[in-house]
Amino acid sequence: MGILEILDRNSFKKKQSHIKNLIEVALADGIVDNEESILLLDVAKRMNVTEQQVNEIKDNLDAISFVPPSGSKQRFNQVYDLVCMAMAHGRINPKGLELCKVLALKLGYMPLIVDDFIKIIDKKLSAKAKKSLKTAE
């Protein structure tokens, strides 16, 4: 096996791990709703993971290990994605929030970063809602 194959395999394991974490956050309330599914597929597409691969990950969650990205920017983005998933349907499930904090810690961040992201996302959503109200008037 060549070095490129090893690097490619390791890269895909990191992607699988991230998709698995997103699915677990989405499942924290017992179901994956439409908003969560859309976000999951958007993140997967950004990572060059197909819908078929996402479905394979969903079907094999227990077989996928936690593999953190090596770069700080990728770890930061993963925490952000996880919080977005927890907030995908407009309310935060306490179990999803707790899982985000556990995963943030595993990714090398203090759990408080999750609360900071929630505030930032809330502000973005509030600004977006205000803007759409002004447009509708």
Q: Is the pLDDT of residue 9 over 90?
A: no
Instruction: Give the pLDDT confidence score for residue 131 in this predicted structure.
Output: 56
Q: Decide if 95 is inside a domain.
A: yes
Q: Higher pLDDT residue, 111 or 89?
A: 111
Kindly tell me the burial class for residue 107, based on how many C-beta atoms sit within 10 Å of its own C-beta (0-12, 13-18, 19 or more). Answer: buried
Q: Decide if 21 is inside a domain.
A: yes
Spatial separation of the C-alpha atoms in residues 136 and 120, rounded to whole Å: 24
Q: What are phi and psi of 48, to 5 degrees?
A: 60, 40
Which of 22-31, 41-50, 120-129 comes out lowest in average pLDDT? 120-129
Q: What is the CATH number of the domain that holds 51?
A: 1.10.3680
Q: Decide if 29 is inside a domain.
A: yes
Instruction: Give the pLDDT confidence score for residue 136 in this predicted structure.
Output: 46
Instruction: Give the pLDDT confidence score for residue 41 in this predicted structure.
Output: 96
Q: Decide if 92 is inside a domain.
A: yes
The pTM assigned to this predicted structure is 0.85
Task: Report how far apart, in Å, the C-alpha atoms of 37 and of each of 21, 33, 118 are.
Answer: 13, 6, 20
Domain count, the chain: 1
Q: Decide if 81 is inside a domain.
A: yes
Residue numbers of the domain that contains 79: 11-129
Q: Is the pLDDT of residue 3 over 50?
A: no
Q: What are phi and psi of 5, to 5 degrees?
A: -65, -40
pLDDT-derived band at 123, boundaries 50, 70, 90: confident
Instruction: Give the pLDDT confidence score for residue 30 in this predicted structure.
Output: 87
Mean pLDDT of 26-45: 92
Contact 21, 73 (CB under 8 A): no
Q: Decide if 1 is inside a domain.
A: no
Q: Decide if 82 is inside a domain.
A: yes
Q: Is 48 left (phi over 0), alpha (psi -120 to 50) or beta?
A: left
Spatial separation of the C-alpha atoms in residues 18 and 2, rounded to whole Å: 25
Q: Decide if 75 is inside a domain.
A: yes
